[in-house]
Structure 1
């Protein structure tokens, strides 16, 4: 009898949790990552899956920031060292794929680019309610994929990357030297 009661209680708790999850609005909008020490925000609508690094096949005559091609869930994806592409680190010192915290973040298939970005570290999820837009700083020209800057409650400034604009950027699409 106690097994039936325990099963009923478990089912009730699961049903309550599922209902609460349905009623709760999506709290997270951003995937927070780090590339060469730079805090970046990637939209959860534009990013897809997170993978641990896998062996890569090098591509001859590729840009230094283009690390190679990987098989991710049966699909071939170009792997780009995000920090090197953004000019945050030298290509020769590109992050090694065997690092403990490096991850591959694939772009959403709706962007029609089979690509994964190598990031140095995942820093978790962030919600819009945790971030405030940073006042526009006067600076040089910025590429279209560099969105607004956001500040969190700790005062850390995050750079938003528009992955759709990045996937269409001419320099990003020019993978051959």
Structure 2
């Protein structure tokens, strides 16, 4: 019978792994996320923290994908709906929706609103696919898992350097 893990235990385990990856310790791992029906991989060293999608304060005169500001333990984070940014449907803020804090390593308080977490992924379980030249630099890498499902790899550094992503005003 499969061992059951509480959500709190899983979040603590994931936070420890994220912290270790940020410090360059532990095995290489990716975090799987879903946004707008697309599966994405994020280096654990680039993912800061995962928090429940909390109350967001809207900001007027911003692009549709910029959903607002969130106060996370006294720090304001700019929150972008990753699905809408990609041209998809808005993410429903339900029990599965999460904020992935991505900018801390780069000195930017940015968060991505994603549909759900898909867990830790071992890079050895993926095979590289041809790059998608039609995508911006932050999303060109693609991988296939053992079931043939295609995943895109998010380059957080490239995303935070992308002029479109950083230009939130209309």
Give the TM-score taking structure 2 as reference length. 0.81
* Structure 1 residue 123 displacement after superposition: 0.5
* Structure 1 residue 153 displacement after superposition: 0.8
* Structure 1 residue 27 displacement after superposition: 3.9
For residues 105-164 of structure 1, give each alpha carbon's deviation from its aligned partner in whole angstroms, at most 9, with x where no partner exists: 00141212111100001110111111111134xx65320111311111111110001011
Alignment of 1:80-159 (within 5 A): 80-89=80-89, 94-97=90-93, 99-136=94-131, 141-159=134-152
Aligned pair partner of 2:163 in 137, 152, 170: 170
Larger mean Cα displacement after TM superposition, 141-150 or 55-64: 141-150
Structure 2 stretches lacking a partner, 5+ long: 1-24
Alignment of 1:41-52 (within 5 A): 41-52=41-52
Q: Distance in 2 between matches of 1:80 and 1:108?
A: 12
Q: Secondary structure at the match of 1:83?
A: helix
* Structure 1 residue 29 displacement after superposition: 1.5
* Structure 1 residue 87 displacement after superposition: 1.0
Q: Distance in 1 between matches of 2:138 and 2:98?
A: 21
Give the TM-score taking structure 1 as reference length. 0.77
Q: Distance in 2 between matches of 1:85 and 1:31?
A: 20
Q: Residue 68 of structure 2 aligns with which residue?
A: 68
* Structure 1 residue 77 displacement after superposition: 0.2
Q: Distance in 2 between matches of 1:146 and 1:74?
A: 31
Q: Residue 36 of structure 2 aligns with which residue?
A: 36
Aligned residues: 146
Checking the alignment, whether the CA contact within 8 Å between 1:33 and 1:41 is kept in structure 2 is: yes
